[in-house]
Structure 1
Amino acid sequence: MSLSINRESVKQWKLPELVDGCAVRGITGVGLWRYDVEAYGAAGAAELVRDAGLEVTSLCRGGFFTRLDRNLEHNLDDNRRAIDEAAALETDVLALVCGGLQDLDLRTARQRVADAITELAPYAAERGVRLGIEPLHPMFCSDRSVVSTLGQAVELAERAGPAEAVGVVVDAYHVWWDPELDAAVRRAGEGGRIVAFQVSDWVTPLPAGVLTGRALMGDGCIRLAEMRDLVEAAGYTGPVEVEIFNDELWARPGAEALDLIIERYRSELV
């Protein structure tokens, strides 16, 4: 597997700095966020990445289907724009953070997510983009995602559309704890549903800002090499995308942070 750097891991750099820094270090992939598209335009961001000899491995993010400050059609329109942006960036992976409870009950929230993804699947397939359902750790169920396990995500993907339209993101930070993980990864792999593999590490106690609690690989308890072997055995051949939200990492100079990420990737995953 090759290494890709999710731009949030080195967000202290602007996109041109990130792609140049990756290029000189032999990294061939970056995962972008929609704020990159907002800043540079889809065509401009694509050109920056392409001119540096890199490819966009994923776009984050679509989803948030349960938001009550938007009606569902408005939300679907925004996700269609995200699909179009992914296509313009020439990546086939749009990661979905599905949305939390808001003021809905759990059953209603999950049904709304399922309905929305089913509605979007044909649009994504027509544009060569796969919707990557990303289950989040259960501690995020109330505010960010009512899809909490990889097994849930695989079932949802299977119901929503074919594998060329809907798959799952295996994010180590969110799924490492799941006793059914091995079976879910195998099922996803058999169906060709694994669209991305993201890594960081889990440390305890979690920091006060839970969203920035992802640690560098090797600093926590996740057996990342075993998880890599698991997704590889399931047939996944794409990149390992490092996605770390960490205040201490962001406080370092960008070059230092990137070099440290590469060092840990080599020691923990290669």
Structure 2
Amino acid sequence: MSKNTINYQYRKPLPGTQLDYFDAQAAVNDIEAGAYERLPYTAKVLAENLVHRCEPSELEACLSQLIYRKRDKDFPWYPARVVCHDILGQTALVDLAGLRDAIASQGGDPAAVNPVVETQLIVDHSLAVEHAGFDPDAFEKNRAVEERRNEDRFHFIEWCKTAFENVSVVPAGNGIMHQINLEKLSPVVQVKNGVAYPDTCVGTDSHTPHVDALGVIAIGVGGLEAETVMLGRPSMMRLPDIVGVKLTGERQPGITATDIVLALTEFEIPKSRLQLLRVLWRRH
């Protein structure tokens, strides 16, 4: 069992594999028959997370928030990953390095201090463009400037990659989080300690939710909340608004899926946004 797994009640063998899973359907339907089948997809993923990680004494009350669409109780959410850009991610790792120093000064083992949750650090917020694109050597020149200006920071990040467990680094020169394929970083289904469960994550960049396209719940957060999740603590939440959108027709030429998603996220009062959607989408 994972040392972070609390609830054992609904752990079951996953047919055709040597893995286990947590049966959220059984847990929800034990509270109200047929309730799981009525839940939206997002709530089903949140339910699995609760069955997997919630304190057993709190499980029914927390699942009831999802079943009955209530918002009178905070419930814990334990994301499987943390994705950070280098500015906020580095700050969190500096805190952990400082904690290692404090433990070592008290005679403890500093190597015991590690992120509990898988942490992916993308070095992308340090580039300042000094050479324009018309220069055929612009990329190499800008990278050289970036390395010179951030030598100490990059050295620390490289140290973190080998010093800490559960930390991986996408180094400078590979693009920003807007361009790096965040879907590529997601396993979609996590497999750890003999248990298969949905991938979920928090990230310190506004583009973190791009991976939602894979059915992975991903939420953008601040540095302190990301650090809290790194240390294995839950991100507390109340049931968010879960809205389904059905689009018919086809995209206008030159309009990307991202354009449509960004338009949808601006919706507050549907009427006021209707013209914008018509521009992006042509109905048959």
Q: Where on the TM-score scale, by shorter chain, does this alignment land: which range?
A: under 0.3
| TM-score normalised by structure 1 residue count | 0.27
| TM-score normalised by structure 2 residue count | 0.26
